Structure 1
Amino acid sequence: MTEHPSTNRLSAQELHDIDAYWRAANYLTIGQIYLLDNPLLREPLRLEHVKPRLLGHWGTSPGLSFIYAHLNRAIRQRDANVIYVCGPGHGGPAMVANTYLEGTYSETNPDIALGEAGMKKLFRQFSFPGGIPSHAAPDVPGSIHEGGELGYALSHAYGAAFDNPDLVVACVVGDGEAETGPLATSWHSNKFLNPALDGAVLPILHLNGYKIANPTILARIPEEELSALFIGYGYEPLFVEGDDPALMHERMAVVLDDALDRIKAIQDAARSGAKTAQPRPKWPMIVLRSPKGWTGPKEVDGLKTEGFWRAHQVPLSGLAENPEHLRMLEEWMRSYRPQELFDAAGAPVAAIRATAPQGDRRMSSNPHANGGLLRRSLELPGLDEHAVRVERPGGVKAESTRVMGGFLRDVMTLNRAARNFRIVGPDETASNRWQDVFEVTERAWMEEILPEDVHLAREGRVMEILSEHTCQGWLEGYLLTGRHGFFSCYEAFTHIVDSMFNQHAKWLDACRKLAWRRPIASLNYLLSSHVWQQEHNGFSHQDPGFIDVALNKKADVVRVYLPADANSLLCVTDHVLRTWNRINVIVAGKANSWQWLSIDEAKVHCGAGIGIWEWASTDGGAEPDVVMACAGDVPTLETLAAVQILRRHIPDLKVRVVNIVDLMTLQPKEHHPHGLSDREFDALFTRDKPVIFAYHGYPWTIHRLTYRRTNHENIHVRGYNEEGTTTTPFDMTVLNGLDRYHLVLGVLDRIPEPAGAHIQLRQAMEGKLIEHGAYIRKHGQDMPEILGWKWER
């Protein structure tokens, strides 16, 4: 345990004022959980003053407000630039209480003014129909982290600190949250924080001892072990422990000042160019050990409550059935002496208001916590200079994601001075062919760099750690504080952040309803090394289902793009980097593959999101006999190969090829902004002709998007059917019926021809499938006609 001087740095008046502020925040927190009326207890508390359903979490709230009060004092004295990340999101009423005391809540919600009437509305709305959620949701000014799902607070905090050299992110980590895997890994984020260029994160581990109904691990292990754990993580832990409010105020003031002094010393040394013995500093962190439900009822019905898990949610329940609980609630609330805290009009007294910082120095009003205020558009390179030269479809090969990497290299270069663009990913930047970015930046790395190491640097702007959770958390924090970025990941393992994706999508959806929340840059994913290019790694790496996770979210938030070649991928990349308040999912392969569209053609095609490829079609603009639809690079290749076979063997068959880049165009226009009207859909897919649809992912996804369309019963989808193994690339398509031979057979099954027609072609296709299976088992690679296939008219 680190020793600290016991000298009290605060005057008696300062301590009194901080305590008054803290009591006021606690009072407002309890009021939100319990009261409908009589907010200042100016008459005896009656049952009709209490909410019929008691929802909320008291246990963590007093500790959160205690920290908030002390940060306010430090901000005022130092003119510090600080935001507050509340890991224990259940402490939402505490966060609302503090923003109300600072005045920010009333500024964003003018109907909830500082006064008795406003306080009544504040209380009534919490966890109440038509009101606000119980967490530190977007409704709470100053929040960039809801905490509805635990584990992501610290990675969000570090993401906010990157490239924000003047910002201190105070991140409260609950001891229950500290048991999650994502949080445990995110402690290592300090290995990526550059004190010369980035801001600082001050982690505050809030040990109140209990989760919902159990003790927490970190609260029960010996203090020496706890200290050793965080020293091992690379921190300097500073402890504040106790339950006596007066002593705890003194201790917290001393330790907080000590921590902020250490942060300043680390940054000053790094920014002065002074050499240090270790490349990475030992950043301070605070361990606050206080009772769960601090200052609440000691016992309820003879059972321990304060300092125990029973304080987690609502300590006093069943008030209608138990008048004694109603009496205890009134006694508890009056113990904070509200008559001293609020004036005759019901507003916080001047001394309490004076303890909060002013203007944008208030944590609830800091622009970094409303990052859209700071967001500036990226400088983007021209598309033509990066385009693959395609003089005719299928005349040249390229690695699509490598072309994208060259584009992102120039994005990094053009925005070098602004320092507002980063790339994150789990050790896969080069694997996914973005290695060209290393021409202008390196991977961020604050540990020792060996002579043989490559692409590691203290100033690197590529962030790699083998934790998808941490990567996503970093990027979310970076975006939420006004910057831009891209997340590259193997398609199958993007599932690891399914839940984080859900939380961010919900956050964006909620923000759309809040006029004061300014739009932030979109969260952009590249899903590469995808299902059809993981034949070498096998079944465990073959899963295109992240698309389906994305499609579960609201249409206003999510976009899914499946560009078929490099120039289409360039157009999509340029587009998504210009968007805001969205989640853009791009699925693209890295293999050297045929290119179909010139850059000018790709611009038009991607602008529409869907279209007929007339150069591949044989319908001559007339009504086709069959529509061959495709979405994704490999499905497009197999569709074109199938069309070539059909053209050769059934030259009179009128085939229309429809390629889809923007998957959301398949939805009805009333369901998605990019959706096609029924008339537009019918013009592409006809009203009654068979549609053979080759799709990148699970077939039922297409049926889900199109089930209301006129011609849905004629749409026959081939995609990934959960068949995979370590095999050849083409065999992956054969296993799932997505290959050219199965596509041709699908056409033959559905075109209106006399029985027995085209029997020779059918037998040829079936024979090819048998030949393919025998060949790969003998030679270990695909047949020459597959490897050497070219598009021919």
Structure 2
Amino acid sequence: MTTQSTVAGAPLSATELGRLDAWWRAANYLAVGQIYLMDNPLLRTPLEPQHIKPRLLGHWGTTPGLTFVYAHLNRVISARDLDLINIMGPGHGGPAAVAAAYLDGTYSELYPRVTPDEHGLERLFTQFSFPGGIPSHVAPETPGSIHEGGELGYALSHAYGAAFDNPDLTVAAIVGDGEAESGPLAASWHSTKFVDPRRDGAVLPILHLNGYKIASPTVLARIPSDELDSLLRGVGHTPYVVSGSDPEEMHQAFAATLDHCLDEIKQIQDEARAVGAGSTAPRRPWPMIVLRSPKGWTGPDELDGQRVEGFWRSHQVPIGGVRDDDGHRQVLESWMRSYRPEELFDDHGAPVAEIAGLYPRGERRMSANPHTNGGLLLRDLHLPDFRDHAVPVDGPGTGAVEATDTLGGYLREVVRRNDDNFRMFAPDENNSNRLQDVLEVTGRTWNAETEPYDEGLAVDGRLMEILSEHTCQGWLEGYLLTGRHGLFSCYEAFTHIVDSMFNQHAKWLKTTRELDWRQAIASLNYLLTSHVWHQDHNGFSHQDPGFIDHVVNKKADVVRVYLPPDANTLLTVVDGCLRSKEQVNVIVAGKQPALQYLTMDQAVEHAAKGIDRWDWASNDDGREPDVVLACAGDVPTLETVAAAALLREHLPELRVRVVNVVDLMRLQAEEAHPHGLSSADFDALFTTDRPVLFAYHGYPWLIHRLTYARTNHDNFHVRGYVEEGTTTTPFDMTVLNRLDRFDLAIDVIDHVPGLGEEAAAVREMLTDKLAEHRAYVQTHGEDMPEIRDWRWETR
């Protein structure tokens, strides 16, 4: 494979070249050892079957490219005193990151058992993909990582998230050519239009084309070079190509190219930062590198007559059956000895001085950079007093307030007070979700072309809007993982787009809680609005509350779900979430005008409890009720309170208790979740033997799942969304799913024994009301006045 390079030059002296190549050989040797060995780590004796792991796991194919880039980044960090971190998009190349951290010395500092000697090497090798050891991916356990990479597609969005508001940081983002085929990665190329060279850091993408995925070629490696060049220029980059396989030539070519790109980045930043306030420098394309090297570079050319290096067979474990096949074991030993380990490690097994002298020192090491352990840099937000944004409430069940519009005023002040530490992320839905007040103090981040009639765009805006949920989430994750704060608002139904990204982040948090050297980062906060019960104009496609179900699958220490019933409760809940750490907080709130129930003082108390009996809506007067009406969510709360009013009017002797749930996790037992209620407290609210009619925002079976072990679970009857929806009126949505006040009241009559003939007459009246509703909406296209204008005070 002939060496070719856009940038000419051979900047490395013979000494620099030798040192760089020695470090690369050492890293590759350590990577192969992690995959194969559990003994004899320096090949002091010929390999024997007992030296080989019984189960061979890991990925070799991408690893030598990752270590190659890492070696060169070390050089420029030292030469330029750069603050630089490295994101390995092909995160399954975990052996590369672990090897690099070990050579840096960081690994032994954080894991003292893995010493820089032969015994430490044995532990380093054995633990990899081994029971009780470490994962094969670039995991939270890996020093210097903010990006697991087990799921591909997020390297660039994480990199840009890290660079935002970090003007002195450079982020090298290695994009694998398999990863480059994913939708999230394709969208994230457009991050170039959202980075501000004046106040943000820089991202240097390195597209690593080694040609193959697990078993087939990769797309970008098989298109004509001019087509690839046009594609990358079209997304805002100037691509510089380094291609070849000869190590010495490739080292010189890559060094020259990397120096050129860093010079260009500095020029872009210097030009932008020289422009005075109020002016904007023209947007320039950012440099990037296209690195073409063989898959499994420096590995065996072939095995049993079949091609390995430069082919998909090198993707995972290139040589199988090493324990049992003497020939294969000899190939492995020859491969490992080709790196000349006797030149790389001293008699004690420590890296020789030539190698140790290459990597940077202290916090300049990529494996020890504080930005990769963001809790070290985390500053508390300077938050306004949410009480200043309280909605006046003259009485429960009155008013007509848009909860998220009220929240927008509070978030405006959060943005104003934290102009380098907090950003909001939304897939083109901020204003639709009634959070437009933030635009009074910031613009939408935008660094592409503008027209004179555009509104609210700013290069240094704090509101990140791109019509890609994946990119919004990736940006926010990168921002959080490097020590900042943020909020992601989204249409409820389409938060499912980031289901898998949420999975990865929740797993990251679960793992980091178990690592004493990882410091706590700010929580990932979701605000889900435009929710299932008020999608009457968009219809069935926009009606899905199932993200909550997905979230509660994760570890209880990590996840929280809040369903505030009104604006004041929403304010106090969001304030608490912004103050929290190491959690994923999901908040569901409506954006349409809705009744208010609690004064601010009442809302603070209610949110702190997470669940409580509403005395004003109940008539059990502290006695054992005949029935409990429970609710979680703004629309279910309205229908439950209205059902309680109907029952009090038509069956005044019936003792009804109304219980509202803000913190969904309170329904779990205290043994199952940190927020769970004790059995005694749960039974005091829900009784041990009375029927409970529960109106829930989402899919009803989740409530059964959360309460299945409770004493009175057999008497729980849950109403929620059951996949019945269309373009219809708000109230008709509740009727379609039997969550409406009339059906709830009918359920009470059906489940409370001994109510007699009077109740039968009431039931018939309620059934007639449902028929009247259906006829009315089909004739008039809107809900009946008694529904639209209902207030608690008018009962």
Q: What is the TM-score with the length of structure 2 in the denominator?
A: 0.98
Task: Quote the offset at 1:281 in angstroms.
Answer: 1.4
> Of 335, 352, 359, which residue of structure 1 is paired with 2:338?
335
Task: Quote the offset at 1:395 in angstroms.
Answer: 2.8
Question: Which residue of 2 is the match for residue 70 of structure 1?
Answer: 72
Question: Which residue of 1 is the match for residue 195 of structure 2?
Answer: 193
Question: Which residue of 2 is the match for residue 212 of structure 1?
Answer: 214
> Of 279, 282, 287, which residue of structure 2 is paired with 1:284?
287
Q: Cα deviation per residue 1:427-484 (whole Å; 9 max; x = unaligned)? A: 0000001000000001000012211111111111100000000000000000000000
Q: Does 1:733 pair with 2:729? A: no
Question: Which residue of 1 is the match for residue 132 of structure 2?
Answer: 130
Question: Which residue of 2 is the match for residue 105 of structure 1?
Answer: 107
Name the CA distance, whole Å, in 2 between partners of 1:400 and 1:642: 22
Q: Does 1:704 pair with 2:705? A: yes
Determine if contact 1:2/1:238 at 8 Å carries over to the other structure: no
> Of 343, 350, 357, which residue of structure 1 is paired with 2:360?
357
Question: Which residue of 1 is the match for residue 37 of structure 2?
Answer: 35
Name the CA distance, whole Å, in 2 between partners of 1:383 and 1:34: 57
Task: Quote the offset at 1:158 in angstroms.
Answer: 0.4
Determine if contact 1:73/1:355 at 8 Å carries over to the other structure: yes
Aligned AA for 1:299? E
Query: What secondary structure sits across from 2:184 in the alignment?
Result: helix
Question: Which residue of 1 is the match for residue 769 of structure 2?
Answer: 768
Question: Which residue of 2 is the match for residue 227 of structure 1?
Answer: 229
Aligned AA for 2:492? E
Query: What secondary structure sits across from 2:401 in the alignment?
Result: strand
Determine if contact 1:279/1:447 at 8 Å carries over to the other structure: no
Task: Quote the offset at 1:397 in angstroms.
Answer: 2.0
Aligned AA for 1:370? N
> Of 242, 259, 262, which residue of structure 2 is paired with 1:260?
262
Sort the Cα spacing of 1:650 and 1:85 in 2 relative to 1 into closer, same or farther, 3 A: same
Determine if contact 1:370/1:517 at 8 Å carries over to the other structure: yes
Determine if contact 1:405/1:433 at 8 Å carries over to the other structure: yes
The worse-fitting range, judged by mean Cα deviation, of 691-700 and 443-452 is 443-452
Question: Which residue of 1 is the match for residue 627 of structure 2?
Answer: 626
Query: What secondary structure sits across from 2:747 in the alignment?
Result: helix
Question: Which residue of 2 is the match for residue 694 of structure 1?
Answer: 695
Name the CA distance, whole Å, in 1 between partners of 2:5 and 2:93: 30
Question: Which residue of 2 is the match for residue 142 of structure 1?
Answer: 144
Alignment of structure 1 residues 167-206 onto 2, 5 Å: 167-206=169-208
Aligned AA for 2:790? W
Question: Which residue of 2 is the match for residue 379 of structure 1?
Answer: 382
Name the CA distance, whole Å, in 1 between partners of 2:739 and 2:489: 26
Question: Which residue of 1 is the match for residue 427 of structure 2?
Answer: 426
The worse-fitting range, judged by mean Cα deviation, of 291-300 and 321-330 is 321-330
Name the CA distance, whole Å, in 2 between partners of 1:561 and 1:413: 26
Q: Cα deviation per residue 1:543-576 (whole Å; 9 max; x = unaligned)? A: 0000000011010000000000000000100000
Determine if contact 1:92/1:135 at 8 Å carries over to the other structure: yes
Question: Which residue of 2 is the match for residue 294 of structure 1?
Answer: 297
Name the CA distance, whole Å, in 1 between partners of 2:612 and 2:641: 15
The worse-fitting range, judged by mean Cα deviation, of 679-688 and 319-328 is 319-328
Sort the Cα spacing of 1:2 and 1:567 in 2 relative to 1 into closer, same or farther, 3 A: farther
Question: Which residue of 1 is the match for residue 370 of structure 2?
Answer: 367
Determine if contact 1:482/1:520 at 8 Å carries over to the other structure: yes
Question: Which residue of 1 is the match for residue 167 of structure 2?
Answer: 165
Query: What secondary structure sits across from 1:409 in the alignment?
Result: helix
Name the CA distance, whole Å, in 1 between partners of 2:399 and 2:561: 26
The worse-fitting range, judged by mean Cα deviation, of 745-754 and 239-248 is 745-754
Determine if contact 2:404/2:591 at 8 Å carries over to the other structure: yes
Name the CA distance, whole Å, in 2 between partners of 1:622 and 1:5: 83
Query: What secondary structure sits across from 1:89 in the alignment?
Result: coil
Report how many aligned residue pairs link the two structures.
791
Q: Cα deviation per residue 1:479-501 (whole Å; 9 max; x = unaligned)? A: 00000000000000000000000
Task: Quote the offset at 1:2 in angstroms.
Answer: 11
The worse-fitting range, judged by mean Cα deviation, of 275-284 and 190-199 is 275-284
Q: Does 1:344 pair with 2:347? A: yes
Task: Quote the offset at 1:279 in angstroms.
Answer: 2.8
Aligned AA for 2:346? D
> Of 228, 246, 249, which residue of structure 2 is paired with 1:247?
249
Aligned AA for 2:672? H
Determine if contact 1:60/1:91 at 8 Å carries over to the other structure: yes
Q: Cα deviation per residue 1:81-101 (whole Å; 9 max; x = unaligned)? A: 100101001100110000000
Name the CA distance, whole Å, in 1 between partners of 2:398 and 2:723: 33
Q: Which runs of 5+ in 1 are unaligned?
A: none
Q: Does 1:604 pair with 2:605? A: yes
Task: Quote the offset at 1:7 in angstroms.
Answer: 2.5
Name the CA distance, whole Å, in 2 between partners of 1:698 and 1:334: 59
Name the CA distance, whole Å, in 2 between partners of 1:334 and 1:754: 87
Q: Cα deviation per residue 1:16-45 (whole Å; 9 max; x = unaligned)? A: 000000000000000000000000000111
Sort the Cα spacing of 1:278 and 1:232 in 2 relative to 1 into closer, same or farther, 3 A: farther
Alignment of structure 1 residues 594-673 onto 2, 5 Å: 594-673=595-674
Query: What secondary structure sits across from 1:584 in the alignment?
Result: strand
Aligned AA for 2:407? M
Give me the CA root mean square deviation: 1.2
Query: What secondary structure sits across from 1:535 in the alignment?
Result: coil
Aligned AA for 2:582? N
Name the CA distance, whole Å, in 2 between partners of 1:714 and 1:220: 62
Query: What secondary structure sits across from 2:93 in the alignment?
Result: helix
Determine if contact 2:50/2:323 at 8 Å carries over to the other structure: no
Question: Which residue of 2 is the match for residue 490 of structure 1?
Answer: 491
Determine if contact 1:160/1:474 at 8 Å carries over to the other structure: yes
Q: Does 1:414 pair with 2:417? A: yes
Determine if contact 1:387/1:567 at 8 Å carries over to the other structure: yes
Aligned AA for 1:665? R
Name the CA distance, whole Å, in 2 between partners of 1:593 and 1:210: 55
Alignment of structure 1 residues 404-483 onto 2, 5 Å: 404-416=407-419, 419-483=420-484
Determine if contact 2:562/2:664 at 8 Å carries over to the other structure: yes
Task: Quote the offset at 1:319 in angstroms.
Answer: 1.6
Task: Quote the offset at 1:8 in angstroms.
Answer: 1.3
Q: Does 1:25 pair with 2:27? A: yes
Name the CA distance, whole Å, in 1 between partners of 2:92 and 2:563: 38
Determine if contact 2:4/2:243 at 8 Å carries over to the other structure: no
Name the CA distance, whole Å, in 2 between partners of 1:494 and 1:276: 37
Task: Quote the offset at 1:366 in angstroms.
Answer: 0.3
Determine if contact 1:619/1:655 at 8 Å carries over to the other structure: yes
Question: Which residue of 2 is the match for residue 13 of structure 1?
Answer: 15
Determine if contact 1:421/1:485 at 8 Å carries over to the other structure: yes
Query: What secondary structure sits across from 2:751 in the alignment?
Result: coil
Task: Quote the offset at 1:761 in angstroms.
Answer: 0.7
Q: Cα deviation per residue 1:266-306 (whole Å; 9 max; x = unaligned)? A: 00000011799973211000000000000000000000000
Question: Which residue of 2 is the match for residue 400 of structure 1?
Answer: 403
Task: Quote the offset at 1:4 in angstroms.
Answer: 4.4
Question: Which residue of 2 is the match for residue 307 of structure 1?
Answer: 310
Determine if contact 1:279/1:448 at 8 Å carries over to the other structure: no
Query: What secondary structure sits across from 1:717 in the alignment?
Result: strand
Q: Which runs of 5+ in 2 are unaligned?
A: none
Aligned AA for 2:245? D
Q: Does 1:82 pair with 2:81? A: no
Task: Quote the offset at 1:754 in angstroms.
Answer: 5.0
Q: Cα deviation per residue 1:338-387 (whole Å; 9 max; x = unaligned)? A: 00000111000011011000000000000000000000110111122100
Q: Cα deviation per residue 1:635-675 (whole Å; 9 max; x = unaligned)? A: 00000000000010111111110000000000010000000
Q: Identity percentage over the alignment?
A: 65
Question: Which residue of 1 is the match for residue 96 of structure 2?
Answer: 94
Name the CA distance, whole Å, in 2 between partners of 1:279 and 1:778: 57
